Amino acid sequence: MKKTFLFILSFTALFSFAQEKAAPVASQSNNMKAAVINDSSQLYEEAYELYQSEEYDLALEKINAAIKLDKRKIDFYDLKCYILIKLKRNKEIIETATYAISLNPKDAKFYEIRGNTYYFDFEPEKALQDYRKMITLDQTNDRYYNNYLKLLNEKRLDQEMINLYPVFEKALPGIKENSDNQFLHDVYFYFSLPFERAKNYEKAKALLTEAINQKDSGSMYYNNRGLIYQETGDLKLALQDLNKAIEIKSDEPSYYENRFSIYFQAKDYENARKDLLKILALGNNDSYIYANLGNTYQMQGKSKEAVENYEIALIKDPKNTSVITNAAYGYFDLGNTVKAKAYFEKALAIDPKEIDILIGLAVIYNEEKNEAQKTKILSKITEYTDYKPSKNLLKELIKEHYIYTEKFQKAWEKLF
């Protein structure tokens, strides 16, 4: 019977817009020009105060008046963009940022503002182009990396993420000097993801450790590092990290799902069962939760409870061959070979080449002393799968993603 685990990496982090703006001080030698600029600077300061007071419509009127007096003052467009962000006027944000870029093509912040707006306007390719330009202009802003990496991760542009890492690493001293950096922990987190997917577990683990060092309350960092420890066979450290993730965020079902898989792998079936029940209590009642609960009860020798949970899973997902097959194994352990046979045959009709189904039917036909059908099924194992029927076949499968009760293993060995 197959395990039904679903490992859940956390990918979530949020875009943030900087909103702290300092009013500039302007001075010019020409008296008339200075008067105009002073007037525009005063309007800017009034617009900024209104922005801080959340009076965005009035703030927009003031900043527009300032821009009318001095169309080339770059800070005016910066503040206007942030006012428009609050007013959710995406088209005007893009227009304003684009004009500011025409005034100063080397100002990274306007590429970020426009890129963020494209992102929220569901134009990720345009956002990506702006983020790429933004990073070439300023490699010392942790927020820029955060937003850029978030989009790269969503698009699974892993090689671009990996290629960006040396740029970030070289700029890191300058980033750390900036007392305003608030996103460094998430930057490390995002960088860990492509390395994890590339199975460079040591690098991914090191980056997650850096994320934890920056912010030890990041539950997702512990979750992901725990899964890497599990993947590399260190179940004790994996469990420690999942325990910490749950301690930080006790209402996140995915953390219990991941801890369940660690408990199950460690053959701590009672704690595995408790985590599955906790997941159900938190409101996740998907079919695979009941399927895993069935597997857990089965490994505890509680075939009745196992079958009950498989049947619930099948109500939710009636054509899931893994669950149908596992239910068949449960009925076999209960001694109900008629029901077991019916379920194995139902699964076989959907997936005629699955080794787990063929093995189950071979045992059933052997129990029925139906030599012809048993021989036919054993030949199909050879024909349709990469395995050869032998007394030790189940031991080979157990090393992969299959589980079998002691009763079924003994029944299989009787074939030889």
Tokens of 263: 């408990």
- Per the rule left: phi > 0, alpha: psi between -120 and 50, beta: everything else, 370 is beta
Identify the CA nearest to 263 among candidates 296, 222, 288: 296
Sequential DSSP letters for 74-140: HHHHHHHHHHHHHHT-HHHHHHHHHHHHHH-TT-HHHHHHHHHHHHHTT-HHHHHHHHHHHHHH-SS
pLDDT in the model for residue 29:
40
Tell me the C-alpha distance between 395 and 382, whole Å: 17
Give the burial class of 387: count Cβ atoms within 10 A of its Cβ; 0-12 exposed, 13-18 middle, 19 or more buried: middle
How many other C-beta atoms can be found within 10 angstroms of the C-beta atom of residue 85?
19
d(CA 354, CA 328): 14
390 backbone φψ class: left, alpha, beta (φ>0; ψ -120 to 50) = beta
CA 131 to chain centre: 22
Query: How far is the C-alpha of 174 from the C-alpha of 242, rounded, in Å?
Result: 33
pLDDT in tens, 19-75: 343 433 333 344 444 444 569 999 999 999 999 999 999 999 999 999 999 999 999
Q: Give me 194's structure tokens.
A: 């492509």
Residue 31 pLDDT? 46
Beta bridge partners of 2: 402
Give the ranges where 155-285 is alpha helix by DSSP (H).
158-177, 184-197, 201-214, 219-231, 235-248, 253-265, 269-281
pLDDT of the residue at 2 = 63
Please give the pLDDT value at position 403. 86
Nearest to 188 by CA among 238, 154, 134, 224: 224
- Phi, psi for 201 (deg, rounded to 5): -70, -35
Which is nearest to 87 in space by CA: 125, 119, 61, 118? 61
pLDDT mean by block of 10 residues, the chain; 416 residues: 59 44 39 58 96 97 96 96 97 98 97 97 97 97 97 98 98 88 95 98 98 96 98 97 98 97 96 98 96 96 97 96 96 96 97 96 96 96 95 92 91 95
